[in-house]
Amino acid sequence: MSRIGVIGAGYVGLTTAACFAHLGHRVVCADVDEDRVAALRRAEIGAHEPGLADLVTEGLRTGRLTFTADNDTAVADAEFVYLCLPTPTGENGEADLSAVHAVLREADLDGRVLVVKSTVPIGTADGIARSRRSPVVSNPEFLREGHAVDDFLRPQRIVVGADDASVARRVLDLYPDAPALVTDRASAELVKYASNCFLAMKLSYVNSLAELCERSGADIDDVTEGMRLDERIGAAFLRPGPGWGGSCFPKDTRALLSTSDGAHVDFPLLRATIDTNERQARRVVDKVRQAAGPLDGTRIGLLGLTFKAGTDDLRDSPALAVADLLADEGAVLTGYDPCVTTDTGPVHVTGTALDAARDVSALVVLTEWPEFAELDWPALAAGMSRPVIVDTRNVLPVDKVTESGIRLVATGRA
């Protein structure tokens, strides 16, 4: 078992710390935010991440997981130091590495294996390695929000970029058994961007196909069902929606485009992937206007505000992009989301879906929360001033909804 310091207690850092402790390692996790550290010491994780609070509780109980606001304390006794810091979008779309560099300047990391878990542009880990004597490893994460613990403990792959095979082996040994790729640092860094951008590209492709279906009489659900049967295409990430969002895809697509521009590589596929997504919220609003009539002063209800189901994360949520555009046109917005309790942007948040639907001229389903498929349709219809639902994710049961007298505007079918 190893001694690990984790710098940064966001969803990646905390998941990494708690899961490593669960696997038997001794972990000290640091975060600059003292209030967060105090909360974590009480096992309050401040996010909706299934299983994570239990692992934090377990780690605190066994003593294998401790929290500190001081990076030096996290590093002092560690054999491995994991950097799990945010790399937000900078001014020109590039990843902003200031948090990473600040830690590297201040913490004494000599003699430890430095593991870069943050998503960083190609060449970052090599650059760090040039300025230090101890080993530097790139070890990107592939954790989906809402499944982070599961993804960590049962990984589909572990990617380690290192220039020393024995160091790479030591990092791999920290993890459960899984298909592993050991490569150079730059390739490991690119695997992360390449994967997220590919998934985003699949989604933009499907969202454009859905638009084509609407105008040509085809049905996107059947079209993607047919595509899924081809193993080369893969079954996942073919569901249409209001656009992709969250803390990774928007940031990573822009960052890879910025890296490509910097390397003088024309990457029109990536640019089109982003452009298609940026137009998606406008398309949803056009459909709502068609369904509900002029939007100025019109009440519209929204079901789902987070960027996807199973999370409370509102960062770069396509639902909020739709909400902002609707509000710009004068719509008055109510919204319901199982994980959101306070008013968000222009949306007055209600406690139930029925409340969000009351007196609205259209209801718009924006997130695929399973409970939205099981609403009381007759009651919903009775409360709406015009019984129309725009389902941007095709998650509602068509027959039940239409039987209750509601007009259902689905996605990707005429």
Annotated binding site: 31, 36, 87, 119, 142-145, 192, 237-241, 245, 251, 308, 315
Burial bucket for residue 308 (CB in 10 Å: 0-12, 13-18, 19+): buried
Nearest residue (CB) to ligand UDX, 60 versus 366:
366
Give the pair of three-digit tokens for residue 15: 């998941």
| CA end-to-end distance (rounded Å), the chain | 58
| Binding site residue list for NAD(+) | 31, 36, 87, 119, 145, 251, 315
Whole-angstrom CA distances from 53 to 14, 50, 250, 279, 381 are 10, 8, 27, 37, 39
| Binding to ligand UDX in span 305-344, by CB under 6 A | 307-308
Q: Taking CB under 6 A as the rule, does residue 117 contact ligand UDX?
A: no
Nearest residue (CB) to ligand UDX, 60 versus 158:
158
Q: Taking CB under 6 A as the rule, does residue 170 contact ligand UDX?
A: no
Tell me the closest approach of the beta carbon of residue 24 to ligand UDX, in angstroms: 24
Considering only residues 90, 237, 346, 373, which one is a binding residue for ligand UDX as defined by CB under 6 A? 237
Distance of alpha carbon 413 from alpha carbon 405, whole angstroms: 19
Nearest residue (CB) to ligand UDX, 67 versus 307:
307
Tell me the closest approach of the beta carbon of residue 237 to ligand UDX, in angstroms: 5
Nearest residue (CB) to ligand UDX, 9 versus 199:
199
Contact pattern for ligand UDX over residues 194 through 213, marking x by CB under 6 A = --x------x----------
Distance of alpha carbon 190 from alpha carbon 204, whole angstroms: 21
Nearest residue (CB) to ligand UDX, 175 versus 237:
237
Distance of alpha carbon 280 from alpha carbon 134, whole angstroms: 46
Size of residue set near ligand UDX by CB under 6 A: 19
DSSP 95: B
- Residue identified by tokens 């791999």 is 172
Burial bucket for residue 73 (CB in 10 Å: 0-12, 13-18, 19+): middle
Give the pair of three-digit tokens for residue 184: 């150079």
Q: Taking CB under 6 A as the rule, does residue 245 contact ligand UDX?
A: yes
| Binding to ligand UDX in span 132-161, by CB under 6 A | 141-145
Q: Taking CB under 6 A as the rule, does residue 246 contact ligand UDX?
A: yes
Helices (DSSP H) in 305-410: which residue ranges?
318-328, 353-357, 377-383, 398-403
Query: What three-state secondary structure class fits 50?
Result: coil
Distance of alpha carbon 66 from alpha carbon 63, whole angstroms: 7
Considering only residues 25, 26, 239, 283, which one is a binding residue for ligand UDX as defined by CB under 6 A? 239
Tell me the closest approach of the beta carbon of residue 57 to ligand UDX, in angstroms: 23
Q: Taking CB under 6 A as the rule, does residue 249 contact ligand UDX?
A: yes
Tell me the closest approach of the beta carbon of residue 323 to ligand UDX, in angstroms: 15
The answer to whether 148 touches 49, Cβ cutoff 8 Å, is: yes
Largest CA distance in the chain: 70
E-only strand ranges, 144-232:
158-161, 180-183
- Specify whether 248 is catalytic: yes
Which of the stretches 60-68, 160-168, 179-187, 245-253 binds ligand UDX when contact is defined by CB under 6 A?
A: 245-253
Catalytic-labelled residue, pool 84, 197, 213, 248: 248
| Binding site residue list for substrate | 142-145, 192, 237-241, 245, 308
Give the pair of three-digit tokens for residue 130: 């040039």
Tell me the closest approach of the beta carbon of residue 384 to ligand UDX, in angstroms: 25
Distance of alpha carbon 239 from alpha carbon 63, whole angstroms: 43
Tell me the closest approach of the beta carbon of residue 408 to ligand UDX, in angstroms: 19
Distance of alpha carbon 150 from alpha carbon 278, whole angstroms: 31
Which residues of the shown chain bind ligand UDX in the complex (CB under 6 A)? 141-145, 196, 203, 237-239, 241, 244-249, 307-308
Active site residues: 248
